[in-house]
């Protein structure tokens, strides 16, 4: 808890030294970067899910085909 308060105090001190426009611009840049990273992670995860779904369906089909 103390480290969280220390980080908050450090951030508060930083905010008071930076002009508001610059702070807002930095926040907007960070949001854009995080959005792009999140989109990339989601697209990779989606591709893995699609691939896993394909493999599972193939395995089920092969198992059903193997039955006499």
Q: Which pLDDT band, with edges at 50, 70 and 90, does 67 fall under? A: low
Segments making up each domain of the chain, as ranges? 2-66
Query: What is the chain's alpha carbon radius of gyration, rounded to the nearest angstrom?
Result: 24
Pick 9 or 55 by higher pLDDT.
55
pLDDT tens for residues 23-58?
778 878 888 888 888 888 888 888 898 889 888 888
Residue 2 predicted with pLDDT over 80:
no
Predicted TM-score (pTM) of this structure: 0.46
């Amino acid at each position: 808890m103390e480290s969280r308060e220390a980080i908050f105090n450090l951030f508060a001190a930083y905010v008071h030294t930076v002009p508001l426009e610059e702070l807002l611009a930095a926040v907007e840049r960070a949001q854009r970067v995080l959005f792009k990273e999140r989109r990339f992670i989601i697209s990779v995860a989606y591709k893995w899910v699609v691939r896993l779904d394909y493999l599972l369906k193939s395995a089920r089909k092969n198992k059903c085909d193997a039955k006499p």
